[in-house]
Amino acid sequence: MSVAPSPPKLLSKLAVMDVLGVSDRTLEKLVKARQFPPPLRLGKHARWAEDVVLKWLELQLEPQTKWEPPKRAGRSAARS
């Protein structure tokens, strides 16, 4: 007997705005500019798969998480 995979959790526009910390207008601009995945339309409602939103956010944060402050040259030499 096989177990069917669970359906993806769908997020409303308000939930996506909350996760990203952006306004309604900003989310619309991101989608229109193709900088954010388009929603799944269910009648009048827009929904995004939670895993897609989180993956997009992870990709946006990647440069920040890999960032390291520049090493200051001469600082240790000045103390010698």
Domains, the chain, ordered by start: 10-65 (1.10.10)
Reference 56, options 37, 41, 38, 39; nearest CA is: 37
Residue scoring higher pLDDT (70 or 14): 14
Given this model, what pLDDT does residue 6 score? 86
**First-last CA distance in the chain:** 72
Instruction: Quote the tokens at residue 1.
Output: 């007997």
Q: Say if strands 10-12 and 45-49 run parallel, antiparallel, or are unpaired.
A: antiparallel
pLDDT, mean over the chain? 90
Across 66-78, average pLDDT: 75
- In this prediction, what percent of the chain has a pLDDT beyond 90? 68
Helix, strand and coil in the chain, % to nearest 5:
50, 15, 40
Given this model, what pLDDT does residue 77 score? 52
Given this model, what pLDDT does residue 52 score? 98
Instruction: Quote the tokens at residue 62.
Output: 């990647």
